[in-house]
Amino acid sequence: MAEPRECLRCRGPMEPGFVVDKGHHDSKDTQKWVEGTPERSFWKGLKIKDRETHAVTSFRCTRCGYLESYAN
Residues that bind Zn ion (CB under 5 A): 7, 9-10, 12, 61, 63-64, 66
Q: 7 vs 57, which CB is nearer to Zn ion? A: 7
Give min distance, CB of 67 to Zn ion, in A.
Answer: 10
Q: Which residues of 13-41 are buried (b: 16+ CB within 10 A; e: fewer)?
A: ebeeeeeeeeeeeeeeeeeeeeeeeeeee
The amino acid that residue 41 corresponds to is: S
Name which of 26, 20, 10, 6 is nearest 64 in CA terms.
10
Give min distance, CB of 20 to Zn ion, in A.
Answer: 22
Q: 55 vs 64, which CB is nearer to Zn ion? A: 64
Q: 6 vs 52, which CB is nearer to Zn ion? A: 6
